[in-house]
Amino acid sequence: MEKNKPIIVRYGEIGVKSPKVRKRFEKKLISNIKSVVDGKIVLNQGRIFLFPEDQEKAIESLKKICGVVSFSPTVETVTDHDAIKETVEAYMKKLIEDGVFSPEKSFAVKCRRVGTHEFSSREMAGFCGSVVVELTGAPVNLSNPDFRLNVEVREGRTYIFHEKIQGIGGLPLGTQGRMIALVSGGIDSPVASFLMMKRGCDLTILNFDNCPYTSGSNEKIIKIYKKLKEYAAGSDLRLYQVNYGGFLQKCEEEAPSRMTCVLCKSGMYQIAEKLAQREKAFAIIDGSSVGQVASQTLPNILATRHSTSMPILSPLIGLDKLEISEMAKKIGTFDISILPDGGCSAAPKHPETNAVLEKVLETQEEISMDAELEAVFSTLKRLDLELD
């Protein structure tokens, strides 16, 4: 019985691509699903039919697979009136038992059909409707029913379902190339990373260990990595870290103190660009949002990005803190991000908010930033390989 409970999986934007691109995307989506769900997968006219070993487990996995727009757990039977009658009866009895349906609710049956049959879709919907009326006595309401039963006939197999569970949407992970994601322990950068994964990008996460200006504990970043990993089915999500405290100390000692945050950010982008070359990545992603904190002003963004030639993508740049926090709650990183970590003590009391590009470049020169960053980059280590 368990093996006869397939799931119909719907995907969205892939549909609008050229046949060649579509085929590539579908193949990747199927292989991503296979990497976390045991079972058979059949592609049939723009829908994925997944026959999982364990339907419950598969449902939880599908909720976190990039590119899945929605899906419906079904019960399968052969395309035969007696078999369908029996299956619909058992299906509705179960829903009544579970409190999902009750006879005072109005209902409608919707039928979709692929293949040649002796009956029309409307006739099959009518047939199933009469089965439900006979069983429950519930009133039919075609225009605005309380409950909708779906019957999907595909050649010799028929699928019964009523739920449409939302997926996270987007594109299959691994169809868009790799990016370097700057991720801290804050609320924003994990959300920015998630959004780009959702748009199909493989990620290499880069974290900066600012010890002794921060606690030096990797607990938060590892928790965030593990949470993001839940959405990375089929992708090699990597986590790197460099020691950045020495560079911050240099900034503190030799540069104007108000410039620390600007130099720190500029340095992060430059390190990310070095890593991008090694990782064959096409872009850097961060959690910047205009005007959210004093250092995220347009002049500062201009000055901090100038020394990097790779595109820096900031998917949160136009969002409010409230909107970002809502997203963080939805994906499950919020509770990790708000764990107290003392913040960064290298940040000056009055950080520069109106950085002048020439001044920043001059200072970078004065503190031999290039050489300093080479030293930082030599501390690069990969953290995820040590995890269970």
Closest approach, Cβ 44 to its own copies, in A, equals 23
CA distance 128 to 339: 53
Which two tokens mark 266?
């500029």
Q: State yes or no: residue 198 binds its own copies (CB under 8 A).
A: yes
Phi and psi for 151 in degrees, rounded to 5?
-125, 115
Out of 115, 256, 311, 343, the residue judged to bind its own copies by CB under 8 A: 311
161-185 b/e (C-beta count within 10 Å ≥ 16 → b): bbeeeebbebbbbbbbebbbbbbbb
- CA 154 to each of CA 76, 79, 112, 274, 384: distance values in angstroms, whole numbers, following the listed order: 11, 8, 8, 52, 44
Can residue 305 be called a binding residue for its own copies (CB under 8 A)?
yes
**Binding of its own copies by 315 (CB under 8 A):** yes
Task: For residue 312, state whether it binds its own copies (rule: CB under 8 A).
Answer: yes
What amino acid is encoded at 101 in this protein?
F
Rounded Cα distance between 127 and 221, Å, is 56
Figure out which of the listed residues 70, 106, 257, 292 binds its own copies, where binding follows CB under 8 A.
292
Q: Is 317 in the site for its own copies (CB under 8 A)?
A: yes
- Member of 294, 338, 339, 356 binding its own copies (CB under 8 A): 294
Q: Was 207 annotated as part of a binding site?
A: yes
Kindly tell me which of 169 and 245 has the beta carbon lying closer to its own copies: 169
**CA dihedral sign, ordered 270, 271, 272, 274:** positive
Whether the Cβ atoms of residue 140 and residue 40 lie closer than 8 Å to each other:
no
199 touches its own copies by CB under 8 A? yes
- Nearer CB in complex with its own copies: 299/348: 299
Q: Which residues 6+ apart lie within 8 Å of 111 measured at CB?
A: 121, 122, 124, 125, 128, 150, 151, 152, 153
Q: Are 197 and 203 in contact (CB under 8 A)?
A: yes
Residue (192 or 261) nearer to its own copies, CB? 192
- Measured in whole angstroms, how far is the alpha carbon of residue 191 from the centre of its chain? 9
Q: Is 338 in the site for its own copies (CB under 8 A)?
A: no
Q: Which of 181, 283, 331, 347 binds its own copies (CB under 8 A)?
A: 283
Stretch that binds its own copies, among 113-121, 125-133, 154-162, 287-295 (CB under 8 A): 287-295
CB of 113 to its own copies, least distance (A): 27
208 is in an annotated binding site: yes
**Residue of 21, 42, 78, 339 that binds its own copies (CB under 8 A):** 21
Q: Is 144 annotated as a binding residue?
A: no
Nearer Cβ to its own copies (273/372): 273
CA distances from 173 to 89, 176, 183, 207, 267 (A): 39, 7, 19, 21, 29
Q: Give the C-alpha separation, 156 to 78, whole Å.
A: 6
Number of residues lying near its own copies (CB under 8 A)? 48
Known binding residue 265? Answer is yes
* Residue set of the binding site for ATP: 182-183, 207-208, 265, 287, 296
Residues of this chain that interact with its own copies (CB under 8 A) are 12-13, 17-18, 21, 169-171, 175-177, 179, 192, 195-196, 198-201, 282-283, 289-292, 294, 297-299, 301-302, 305-306, 309-323
